[in-house]
Chain A
Amino acid sequence: MLALVRDFGQFCLLFAFCLSCYAIVSSFLGGKLGNRRLVETAERAVMAVCGLVTLTVFSLWHQLLNDNFNLQYVAANSNRAMPWFYKFGALWGGQEGSLVFWCWILSLYSVTAVVLNLKKNRNLMPYVVGVISMVTTFFLLVNNFVANPFDMIGVIRPGSPVATPFTPMDGNGLSALLQYWAMVIHPPILYTGYVGFTIPFAFAVAALITRDLDEEWIRTTRRWMMVPWLFQGIGVLLGAKWAYVVLGWGGYWGWDPVENASLMPWLAATAFLHSVIMQERKGMMKVWNMVLILSTFLLCIFGTFLTRSGIVSSVHSFAQSPIGPYFSSFLFLMISLSAYLLLTRLDSLKSENRLDSVVSRESSFLFNNLILLASMFAILWGTIFPIITEYLQNEKRTVSAPFYNKVNIPIGLFLLFLTGVGPLLAWRKTSMQSLKRNFTMPTIAALMTGAVFFAFGMRHFYSTVCLVLCVFVMATILAEFHRGANARRSQGESYLEALWILTFRNTRRYGGYIVHIAMVFLFVGFAGAGFNRDVMKELGAGESIEIGSYSLTLEQVKNNDNPNYASAVAVMKVYQNGKLINTLLPERRFYKAKEESTTEVALRSNLKEDLYVVLSGFTPSTSKAVIHVFLNPLVSWIWIGGLVFMLGTVVCLIPDKHEKALQKTAIPVEVEELAKT
């Protein structure tokens, strides 16, 4: 049965590749010749590919859950002692499986795109399907011929030209670092982000090919960009949460190349979601928006190439294999295609309007985009600088947290400032009177906060500036909500009712403000890092360690053992101002199959600070427990910011009355086709 399912999975993967190739040819040909039936067969092929990849994924899950260690992938990423949910998660725990998973999400997106556009964007769809199929085909090619999850283990015996199949008794197990609950959901969410950027890319390329660059395609693309942007954002934050709780170094962001690779497309997409407003409202920045859509997708592929090819070292090294040349070739092809199309269509992408004043919403979008892109470039530059120096100087360099923090903190603070300023500037021209009216109170609030911080002895420059700016931005946003709600109250609505109606009457605007509030929360959390403290001490039973107002006493160390791992748990009594407030259980685990050790951090978290306790190990001489305690202020605000970010983006995605009106007035496809004839 296991062999049958394995062969079935292999067959589905190969058949999906063949059908995907067909979808490319028939969709482009159908688009070129105007043959509707060819295009329809391409769309059906896309659906069939989705079905086949789904069957492949289920086959691989079957192999993982049934411990078929005859497969290289299962043997390398699973073992008998692992709980079923980690076996389930092992699908994306290694290179081959994660690429199949990538392909599956892409195929699900493709089907969604096809189904949602059965009656609209018909002139674009042949090329949209073609481009999506090109990307799908590339991943299926890699999965079939370079990184196949169904490859079997073989042993070459002396005198035999072929390998004999071999089944080990047990597998190596999933990387110990991945055996954490967030890792069961973090990669799928992050991949849903990464992969989703393919769809706006496909629409952009299709619009360039057809020169059909009107408002409709950009409206469709904005929505398609927002969904992966949401998932990418959540995925990045879940990754930060994982790093915080599993790696045990007291931080949540280490500027690892894989972290950087996930952040870069998100920043480019953020820039697009701002500048697209300019195109929709004023018909401006058309070339720039196109560049941003194309760059977002290309950065996804570039990041994947960078981190999976092994050319930069990373904590995510479990996902490395020799697939680099395939990704670099594909990246080169996509860059060439994008550049050619863009350069040959420049005449169709001219701005329709002009600026009336430098002090206007339009200018703020330009600056916002510049700063977002500068931040993205700084991260990209830092990530590739070691490769450049190795190539040019034959000597390696390391670029880690000190570089990124020094370069990105000032850029980030300026961006935070613009988050407060931009939305309050009027379209076309902002008068002096309006500037005074909108900014006086927020500025006073921010300055007063700064003065209070200074009076209380806060001297960390960046953290103080960050918190002051947070107050400024929050005040501007709240003032906007307040002004809007007050205006509605004159119609007899209660304040809360007015706020609710206000938000859902203009979801894009007020959803955007909620996302800005999320950014403020995130920056509050980041600012706390300036005041982090830690202390490390070896403790015997009954001994204590002090940090801030806390005193932690080691009561005992318990040893546990199960088939998957052996662990040591320190039982720590936590006292605050002499009063027992909690018992924390930091743990050290040793995963037997993988022979890896991990920390299980114990946390006491509130809005003010995190008490973060790590059992670092034991001293060789005295066998005492080594306890590392961190006091990290304001970290909870980062996770709260993540939740608010989700809320704000979902509000943005809800069609408001303007969009509903546009949808109602959209010309049905039948009428469109009739008009063409």
Chain B
Amino acid sequence: MKKCGWVANDRRKTQGWAVLKFLLIVIVFLFPTKQFAQVFSPEVKYASEAFVCQCSCNHQLSACGMLNCGSATPLRTEIQGHLTEGKSQKEIVEAFVAKYGKVILAAPTMQGFDLAAWLTPFAALLFGLIVVYFVIKAWTQPQPVLAGNASTPVIPDDYRDKMEKELKDLG
């Protein structure tokens, strides 16, 4: 037996997530079938499409369907707050990036190193197109003549005469 204790997976979890999980368990145990959900407006939904939920569901904040999600619920509430203050989408994005870092964004930005995320697939496609162009060009070129120049018969004249004579004799 190499491993002892069956809670090895818990080691990976951070303390913060453990606290959140504990709170979630308390809530769900208290209200096993009254499971709380958040109603959010189309404006909040639209604004939250720019962000990704941090609960490892990998969904945009607008799409996370987890009940009482420890990440999506407070983040949507925060967006609602920003919208109430009259902030624009751009300002909300800036505020979120300043607070949580670029990891909160659903897609890389179009600046700095992040630009590589967007450009690389198309650069690869362009490179592939160039390769295909050269492959087609090489494959469509006429085959080089193996010996001598094109006007020179490959079969020497004396052999040709001999072959023709033999063919005539056969006929």
Contact = CB atoms under 8 A, between A and B. Distances in A.
Given A370-B128, A382-B117, A392-B113, A400 B107 contact: yes
A623 B36 CA distance: 8
B65 interface: yes
Contacts of B64: 249
Interface residues of A, number: 84
B103 interface: yes
A626 B1 contact: no
Interface in A614-637: 614, 616-620, 623, 626, 628
A86 B6 CA distance: 21
Interface stretch (A52-60, A153-161, A325-333, A650-658): A153-161
Interface in A247-279: 247-251, 254-257
Contacts, number: 200
A487 B128 CA distance: 39
Interface in B102-157: 102-108, 113-114, 116-118, 120-122, 124-125, 128-129, 132, 135-136, 139-141, 143
Given A393-B113, A395-B101, A398-B105, A249 B37 contact: no
B59 interface: yes
Contacts of B28: 590, 595, 597
A152 B1 contact: yes
A382 B52 CA distance: 15
A590 B32 contact: yes
Interface string B36-77: 111110000100010010001111100111111000000000
A618 B34 contact: yes
Nearest to A367: B132
A313 B68 contact: no
Contacts of A395: 101-103
Given A400-B58, A411-B125, A154 B4 contact: yes
Contact of B136 (A358, A374, A378, A382): A358
B14 interface: no
A397 B102 contact: yes
A315 B124 CA distance: 29
A315 B33 contact: no
Q: How large is the interface on B (under 10, 10 to 19, 20 to 34, 35 or more residues)?
A: 35 or more
A205 B38 CA distance: 55
Contacts of A250: 63, 65
B86 interface: no
A398 B50 CA distance: 11
A154 B102 contact: no
Kindly name the residue among B1, B3, B5, B58 whose own CB sees the greatest number of chain A CB atoms within 10 A. Answer: B58
Given A155-B4, A401-B60, A567 B121 contact: no
A180 interface: no
Contacts of A546: none
Interface stretch (A348-356, A435-443, A662-670): A348-356
Nearest to A315: B57
A400 B124 contact: no
Contacts of A378: 121, 124
A619 B1 CA distance: 48
Given A355-B139, A398-B104, A588-B67, A373 B128 contact: yes
A239 B85 CA distance: 41
A249 B128 contact: no
B88 interface: no
A241 to B, nearest CB: 16
Contact of A151 (B2, B68, B116, B139): B2
Interface string A346-375: 000001001111100011001100110110
A619 B39 contact: yes
B11 to A, nearest CB: 10
B51 to A, nearest CB: 9
A121 to B, nearest CB: 30
Kindly name the residue among A256, A314, A357, A536 whose own CB sees the greatest number of chain B CB atoms within 10 A. Answer: A536
Contacts of B113: 389, 392-393
Given A402-B107, A617-B67, A254 B59 contact: yes
Contacts of B168: none
Contacts of A618: 34-37
A63 to B, nearest CB: 15
B101 A313 contact: no
A407 interface: yes
B63 A72 contact: no
B140 A356 contact: yes
A354 B37 CA distance: 64
Contacts of A366: 132, 135-136
A566 interface: yes
B25 interface: yes
Contacts of A567: 33
A317 B121 CA distance: 27
Interface in B80-113: 101-108, 113
B162 interface: no
Contacts of B36: 617-620
B102 to A, nearest CB: 6
A156 B33 contact: no
A538 B4 contact: no
23 contacts: A151-B2, A153-B6, A163-B4, A249-B63, A314-B58, A321-B9, A354-B143, A370-B129, A374-B121, A389-B108, A397-B102, A398-B104, A399-B107, A401-B59, A401-B63, A403-B106, A538-B39, A568-B35, A588-B35, A590-B28, A617-B36, A618-B34, A626-B37
Interface of B: 1-6, 9, 12, 24-25, 28, 32-40, 45, 49, 52, 56-60, 63-68, 101-108, 113-114, 116-118, 120-122, 124-125, 128-129, 132, 135-136, 139-141, 143
Given A354-B141, A393-B113, A626-B37, 4 more contacts: A397-B105, A397-B114, A411-B121, A626-B39
Interface of A: 72, 75-76, 145, 148, 151-156, 163, 168, 247-251, 254-257, 284, 310, 313-315, 317, 321, 351, 354-358, 362-363, 366-367, 370-371, 373-374, 377-378, 381-382, 385, 389, 392-393, 395-403, 406-407, 411, 536-538, 559, 566-568, 588, 590, 595, 597, 599, 614, 616-620, 623, 626, 628
A-B complex: 9 closest residue pairs judged by Cβ atoms: A617-B37, A378-B121, A626-B37, A616-B37, A248-B65, A355-B139, A403-B107, A396-B103, A402-B107
